[in-house]
Structure 1
Amino acid sequence: MVKRFILFSSFFGLLFSCEDKAKELPPEPEWSVEHSTKMNEQFTREDEINIRLYLSRRENWEMKSTGSGLRYWIYEDKEGPTAEAGDKVDVKFEIKMLNDSLLYKTEDKELSTFKVDKSDIETGVMEGIKYLSEGDKAKLIIPSHIGHGLLGDFKKIPPLQVLVVDLELVKIY
């Protein structure tokens, strides 16, 4: 019993003898919507510079631009109905970075199937595919903000990467 009392009183003695210091936390970073906006504007400017440099070496590409920053060139135009939101499509594709490093490619007899605007495909691809008719082949240049953005895809596409997509719209359902 005496041993328990000594052990118990020693524990409380230690507990109450420690100074009551609050842990100092690092200061909160000063961040605002304005900081985010400026950062995004900088990323967009850098993407634009890199895209222009890339296209300066491909003068025969007849690119059109959209308000989002997407560039597209339909180099095989089959003229027919275009893909619309909700359509199911089969495509073949090849995705590269601006340095021509291959990231993804459908195999020769493979197709990728998805619903337009109803899947997790890049926003830039969804926008671009709506300019295509069944059988069209196109080049898309997708700035990072309508591609995989700040995070990449956690597999092969690094963060803040402009993508060059060679896309064939094989079938619209």
Structure 2
Amino acid sequence: MKYLRYTMILMGILVFGCKPPEARKPVTQNSGSFINESIQRNKQLVAQEEAQILEIIERDSINDYITSENGFWYYYTKRSTDSLNTYTPKFGDVVEFDYSIKSLAGQDIYAEGELATKNYAIDKEELFGGLREGLKLMKEGEVVTFIFPSHKAFGYYGDKNKIGTNIPIIAKVTLHLITEETNKNNND
């Protein structure tokens, strides 16, 4: 009798314990409000930074600023007047340049000479977005001052050294040398 009882209990467990798994319902549902709030915060930040930059440009009666289609502003401190010097760097070219960085208030973050001369292969190495695009506008020997909003500079993370979160910057760049990529296609 005990044997029959244990068999019945075991059979009951097997029959009722072997049902298919049920999908669990989420405890909370995310409506995407965090992402929408983040988008709004970023739009406000960009608008504030652009207002600051445009105010700086308006007060500067000495320099002629150019608005880049890439979302930053710049002016030439030294422009190439050589009619033979028309080449601007393309993908894969290596450029040698120096740069310094200031805050929008004009305070040195990295003074001239503080950063080592850099060699950079255009679009093949890491460099912050604004400078990567700015170098493509320059010719050998030119000196250009760029004003980058934070999203074109070091963005949310900063440079993990002297530039903090969401800091717009002024970068003065001197392009010394452009070395064209040697294995370019001759059909260009």
- For the aligned pair, the TM-score class normalised by the smaller chain equals 0.7 to 0.9
Q: Report the Cα distance in structure 1 between the residues aligned to 2:154 and 2:63, rounded to whole angstroms.
A: 24
Q: Report the Cα distance in structure 2 between the residues aligned to 1:134 and 1:68, rounded to whole angstroms.
A: 21
Which residue pairs with 1:132 in the alignment? 138
CA radius of gyration, larger in: 2
Question: Is the deviation greater in 50-59 or in 141-150?
Answer: 50-59
Q: Pick one of 119, 127, 130 that aligns with 1:113.
A: 119
Following superposition, the deviation at residue 74 of structure 1 comes to 2.0
Specify whether residues 130 and 124 from structure 1 end up closer, same or farther in structure 2 by C-alpha distance, changes over 3 A only: same
Which residue pairs with 1:152 in the alignment? 158
Cα-Cα RMSD: 2.5
Q: Quick check: 1:122–1:148 contact (8 Å CA) kept in 2?
A: yes
Question: Within 5 A, what are the aligned runs for 1:13-162?
Answer: 31-78=33-80, 79-107=85-113, 110-162=116-168
Q: Report the Cα distance in structure 1 between the residues aligned to 2:108 and 2:126, rounded to whole angstroms.
A: 20
Following superposition, the deviation at residue 75 of structure 1 comes to 2.8
SS in 2 for 1:127: helix
Which residue pairs with 2:27 in the alignment? none
Which residue pairs with 2:170 in the alignment? 164
Runs of 4+ residues deviating >4 angstroms: none
SS in 2 for 1:135: coil
Following superposition, the deviation at residue 30 of structure 1 comes to 6.4
Q: Report the Cα distance in structure 2 between the residues aligned to 1:39 and 1:67, rounded to whole angstroms.
A: 23
SS in 1 for 2:56: helix
Following superposition, the deviation at residue 94 of structure 1 comes to 1.0
Aligned residue pairs, count: 149
- Give the TM-score of the pair, scaled to structure 2: 0.71
SS in 2 for 1:99: coil
